[in-house]
Structure formats: structure tokens, C-alpha cells
A and B are shown apart, each in its own frame.
Chain A
């Protein structure tokens, strides 16, 4: 049974994203079990949990990179449809940053950032380039615009990936373990960009192990275990006074090193 300690705390303000009784299985493995999550406009939610707890799967179900078995995901007032043009249109409004960056390997940094606006949003090229340059400068890789991804460090690649997502003017940003593949000295530069985004009012759902980021930028921490949301609350409260046994266990293991 779930010790459902405050799993229903609803955020104030307009609900932008609503995950309702979502279930997801991979064969015999239950990845998500009756997951409910509401995210308000402007809210920053950090999802925590041990590996295999379903946090990445939840993140990927939000823009339907992973299909769900039952339940529904409602974004901006519309339920996510089946794979197709309509879903593509909704995805354009949801930015996603991956653990492994996934920059387009055959395109330059600038092309990576302008491709979405030009091809999906039909933004005129000159305008897309101008906006892309501004974004690249904002994340601190402006001088690398003609490089290919393979020529950049991991931290630089991830910052370009964030710029690529922002170029679409997303209403929501998803971060799927954005710093897990980075060397320690590069984690900071990516987190700084993320904190800046949060401060600017971007709605964010971030799967991350970075407690510092959660403390500094999150409005709410969601703790998952075995495919379920076990506990949710403000970061300070969660880190200092976790209410569930499982959250206490998790925190003690990650805070030990």
C-alpha cells in the first residue's frame, strides 16, 4: 500500500499539466502505477527517486515519447492524442532536455537551434537565426555557433540543447536527468542556466538528483518509489522532515556521499 502523504496537494494558479491515473508497464514490469500529478503555470517541480522508480518514465510520458497504458495526460487544456500531426503540434509547446543531450549530430550548433523554429513553427529564417543567437549567448555558448556537437564539451552540448528547446517558446520544459551524464565541473554551468530559467518564471518538470537545484529553484518536490508518487511537498520540508519511511531511506542513501 502507498503511504499517500499529501499526494494530492494541488498547486495554486492555472493548471498547465495534469497527469491523471496514469499506468505504464514494460512487459511484466510496472513502471507507473496510478500516477496523478498537477503542475501549475510557472511552477517548478523536481521529481526525485531511486533508479527504476519510474521518474524518467513519468517525464517521458508527459510529452508521449512513451505511450501510456491507461489514464490520461492533459496539457494546456487538451488531452494528448495518439501519435500524429496533432501530437506533434502539442509537443512543439513542450521543451525536452535529455540526459544524453541528443543534439543533431550532422548540424551545427546554430542549425540545431534554428531547425525547430524554421521547420515546425515556420519562423522566417532571419528571425530564427537572430533569436537563436540571443539564446546561445544567454546560455553562454554564443561563440560556438558554427561548431558541430561533437566538438563541444558535455556541458556546452547540454546548454545548446536547452537553447534548442527554448527556441520553440515552450510553455513547459521537461528535464530528464539533464546533468547525470556530465563531469562534475560541468554540472554547475547547466544548473545555473536551469536556475535562471526557473527564476524567469518558466514552468518546469525536472528529474534530477541535484539536491542543490531542488532547494534553490523548486516549488515542489515529488518523491517516487516503485512507480508511485509517495510524497510531495516544498523542498525544504521534504529534505529536513520527510514524512514517509521510503523518503527517509532514499535521502539517507543519497546524502551519505
Chain B
């Protein structure tokens, strides 16, 4: 155990990498998710079709398989990124599908009459989305989006399988070195719990604050 504690700095560093990966992945997933959501609720059929296709593709393959494809498959096509970058891109692309569904759920929870009233006033599609629908949809989106972020944090551990040196990857190496699975893996689990509980706490706060504004 004391051997492991000597390496606590390495583990904390790994936690940092995990947080970094998660934040980058989430920002990417959110931006991409917004674009997909707009496509999926737009009146233009080809855009809607593309949005649906994207979501269905990514929702139906395991993240690990996508990571393998990206990290080991793409170099064959002559495209390669550093490992850290690769995983951040994968997390963003993969979880964009889930972010899109969370946002679309929020939008669909806004009664259809709100959009009709906006259109009847002469607002364009973009105006009605921006001024009427999204502000009301945000409240219902907070918790599902927090779930997506939690999914990203936990999913980022799969980076270990392709050699990214984040929390799980470092734990794996320590475990191989000292053969003490309980303290090493236990510490990693604790690290993840601390992050995800923080996310849940913040999401609860944000949602409460938005409720008052409505």
C-alpha cells in the first residue's frame, strides 16, 4: 500500500488528464450536438435525415469499438493524431449523438403551441428557436446533459485500452508493477466518483437557478 502511495502524484496527474479529456470531449460534444439538434428539428428533410443517421450510427456502436477504429484504423488511411487528441475527438463525436438526444428531448418538451405562436408572429425558424424554444428547453436539458457529461467521464477510461495515459491507464500500470489491485483500482474508482458527484451537484444547482427565472 505504501508503495502505491509513493505514486499518488502519478494518479492525481492521471485524474487531471481524465478531467481534461472529459471537458474537451464535452465541449466538442455540446457544439456538435447543437448542430445535430438543429438539423434534427429543422424543416429541411436532408438535414433531418443526416442528423438522424449520425445519431443512430453512434448510438449503436460501442465506444471502445469506435476508439479502436479511430486509433488503429485511421492511420491505415493515412490520418493519425496523437493519442490524447484522438480520444478527445472520439469522445466528442461519440457523445455528440447523446448530447443531441438530450437537447432534442428538452426542445420536444416545450409545447408545440409556443413554436406556432412564434411562427404566427412572423419569426423565422432560427428566431423562434433562439428566442422562444431554447430558453424554455434549457431547464429540461440540464439533467440529461449532466448525464452525458458523466458518461463522458466514465467513458474516457476506455482510453486505457488504446494506451492513453489517463487515470485508468496509469492505475493499470501500477497494478501490473505491484500486483495490488485493491488499493490501486480502488483509488481510481474514488477519483471517478469524486468527479461525477461534483457534476451531479452542480447540475442540481444550475437547474434550481433556472427554475426561478422561468
Contact = CB atoms under 8 A, between A and B. Distances in A.
A115 B114 CA distance: 13
Contacts of A148: 214
A83 B122 contact: no
A94 B120 CA distance: 7
Contacts of A84: 124
A148 B213 CA distance: 11
A98 B121 contact: no
Nearest to A120: B122
Contact of A65 (B116, B124, B131): B116
Interface size classification for chain A = 20 to 34
A98 B123 contact: no
A120 B43 contact: no
Interface in B82-103: none
A164 B121 contact: yes
Interface in B105-133: 111, 113-114, 116-125, 127, 131-132
Interface in A77-97: 83-85, 88-96
Nearest to A60: B116
Given A88-B119, A115-B131, A102 B124 contact: no
A231 B125 CA distance: 37
B119 A119 contact: no
A165 B120 CA distance: 9
A144 to B, nearest CB: 17
Nearest to A85: B124
Band of interface residues on B? 20 to 34
A104 interface: yes
Nearest to B132: A104
Contact of B120 (A85, A91, A103, A105): A91
Nearest to B127: A119
A234 interface: no
A222 B116 CA distance: 25
Interface string B7-47: 00000000000000000000000000000000000010000
A102 B110 CA distance: 11
A68 to B, nearest CB: 16
Nearest to B43: A83
B157 interface: no
Given A92-B121, A115-B121, 8 more contacts: A96-B117, A96-B120, A98-B117, A100-B113, A116-B122, A120-B123, A161-B117, A168-B121
Interface of A: 63, 65, 83-85, 88-96, 98, 100-106, 115-116, 119-120, 148, 161, 164-165, 168
Interface of B: 43, 111, 113-114, 116-125, 127, 131-132, 135-136, 213-214
